[in-house]
Chain A
Amino acid sequence: MIVVLGPGGQYNHLIARRVSELGYNVILLPLGSSVGDADGVIIGGGPGSTVESVPEVKLPNVPLLGICYGHQLIAKLMGGNVGRAKKPEFGPFEVTVLEKDVLFQGVPEKFVAWMSHRDEVTKIPPDFLRLASSENCLYQAIRHEKRDIFGVQFHPEVSHTQHGMRILKNFLEITRR
């Protein structure tokens, strides 16, 4: 079972649809819910900002993927930082993969992904690596060096993002290991 935690954004129901289409059981719950015995957790997007205040959320000890707000939340909770983006991104932008990580297996070095964010990760937490960037945003994708904790600023779940399904599939396969 995969749990999608939705902080109130537009695409969280769509994330649940994609997970289901990839053959996994999924449940969509509000951010802050208990995730029970989930095999993996995805924290989705939302209209909130972690620049000023961060909700008290306990990050689960299973494979974890943060998307947009979820990505920023993970970065902040684990000791990184989030600020207002100098160049907010809305719509399609090119992402460059810098590290051939398992998350980007089968994904070309450059691909077009869709964004919708005013904030961005400005400093990654200790023990994290940068996996991808875009012209306007340094940390488009990050991961923990040893644990299965990932964050992406772009939205792999929307149909316009190239290779989005592959990226979600790569994450979900980690939960089966």
Chain B
Amino acid sequence: MNEKNINAAERFIYEKITSSMALDPSSFVLSAAEEIKSLVRNDKIISAVSGGVDSAVATAIAWRAVGSSLQVVFLDTGFMREGEPEKVASEYEKLGIKVEIVPASERFYKSLRGISDPEDKRKVFRKEFYSVLSSIAREKKCNFLLQGTIAPDWIETKGGIKTQHNVLEQIGIDPEREFGLRILEPLRNLYKDQVRAIAHYLGLDYFAKRQPFPGPGLLVRVPGALDLGRLSVARKATSIVEGYLQRCSTQCLAAVFSGIKGSVSTPIGEGQLLSEGATGVMGDSRAFGYVISLPMEAYKRETVQKLSPFMAERGITRVLVKLLEKGKGYAVVIRAVLTEDFMTADIPILEKDVLMELAERIAEIDGVGSVHYDITPKPPATIEFE
């Protein structure tokens, strides 16, 4: 254990230990709203909602606390799902909360051009995100920024597993100095299942049931350098996958790789190597490594267990099975996970017929050469690809 690891260790104490860890939604909402009210006083808050349950719960609590002193925006980064900005704004409208959509996709595309390192992509995204947001905050005279950050966000960022775009203070970035904003994070000690329980308590059932979606969105589902062609395939494939698999998984998605780069021999047979790598987590450390695809015979729960030592030795973070290959073109990877709190995730072993039907639908998208299913749990993989 080196010095750096000790410094990265958790350096804080819980003030309200029992109430913050074992959750009672009604008292949590009351005390979180009180805390916001006392911190903000007569100032204004800006909240950038993503459409997910975390920012919805944080926003609903702040709305209770300060009413119209809360300004809600939705940044259209260009990495959103099909029709997302309008859908999200209309759901908030039902709650009586007005959401302003801020188009910013060109800015994001421009600053991310040519960047292929996954951590650099996340950091550039974060910088762009806060610079857009802070200029809107200035326009609207807001001093506070409300965020739906939850425990796994800062745990993964601090632990160096991956940079979550909404984590600043915990890694030593001073948001007040850098962006002129003070941060409010009422959910920072909660996990997704606890946030969902509060969402139901607040009547936010629509958000509680929604598919989780990462802050940097489809950007992290187009591994390597940003390519607008692959981004468009990722958007279409995500809609198709969600249509098929959201009832039998906690989260499901599609990632689009450039293609297949070569072949690889494994202890259980020959496989293919994908053109880009993916992020994983092994023994509490970030792992970025190869993605391999095996023939359908390997479609079993035991495959990844059997390959664990080989993966650690060769730096492989993902094992896929190949559903179909029609020729040259993008390699689309379907991923579905079962999880309560996103700290660990299991893979649903779905009927082959369902997967094949889904693969054929995806293969109809222009430019797709092959379709695969990811069978790697977390650990050793993470849920998203970068």
Contacts and interface: CB of A to CB of B under 8 A. Distances in A.
Contact of A91 (B9, B13, B189, B308): B308
A85 to B, nearest CB: 8
Interface string B123-161: 000000000000000000000000000010001100111
Contacts of B344: 114, 155, 158-160
Contact of A92 (B11, B343, B377): B377
A100 interface: no
Contacts of A16: 14, 21
B22 A20 contact: yes
Contacts of B42: none
Contact of A28 (B14, B156, B305, B311): B14
A128 interface: no
A60 interface: no
A90 B1 contact: no
Nearest to A161: B344
A143 to B, nearest CB: 23
A80 interface: no
Interface stretch (B52-60, B178-186, B256-264, B279-287): B279-287
Contacts of B18: 20, 25
B21 A26 contact: yes
Given A20-B21, A27-B13, A116 B155 contact: no
A88 B308 contact: yes
A45 B284 contact: yes
A159 B283 contact: no
A90 B345 CA distance: 12
A122 interface: no
B379 interface: yes
A34 interface: no
Nearest to A6: B10
Nearest to A26: B17
Interface stretch (A47-55, A102-110, A166-174): A47-55
B191 interface: yes
Q: Which of A8, A12, A29, A93 has the most CB of B within 10 A?
A: A8
Contacts of B38: none
Interface in B323-379: 339-341, 343-346, 376-379
Interface in B1-22: 1-2, 5-6, 8-14, 17-18, 21-22
A30 B312 contact: no
A88 B339 CA distance: 23
Contacts of A116: 281-284, 379-380
Interface of B: 1-2, 5-6, 8-14, 17-18, 21-22, 151, 155-156, 159-161, 189, 191, 281-285, 301, 304-305, 308-309, 311-312, 339-341, 343-346, 376-380
Given A8-B5, A13-B151, 17 more contacts: A6-B9, A20-B17, A20-B18, A26-B21, A27-B13, A45-B284, A47-B5, A68-B284, A69-B1, A88-B283, A88-B308, A89-B305, A90-B380, A91-B308, A91-B380, A118-B282, A136-B308
10 contacts: A7-B9, A8-B10, A10-B159, A20-B17, A46-B284, A69-B1, A88-B309, A90-B283, A90-B379, A114-B344
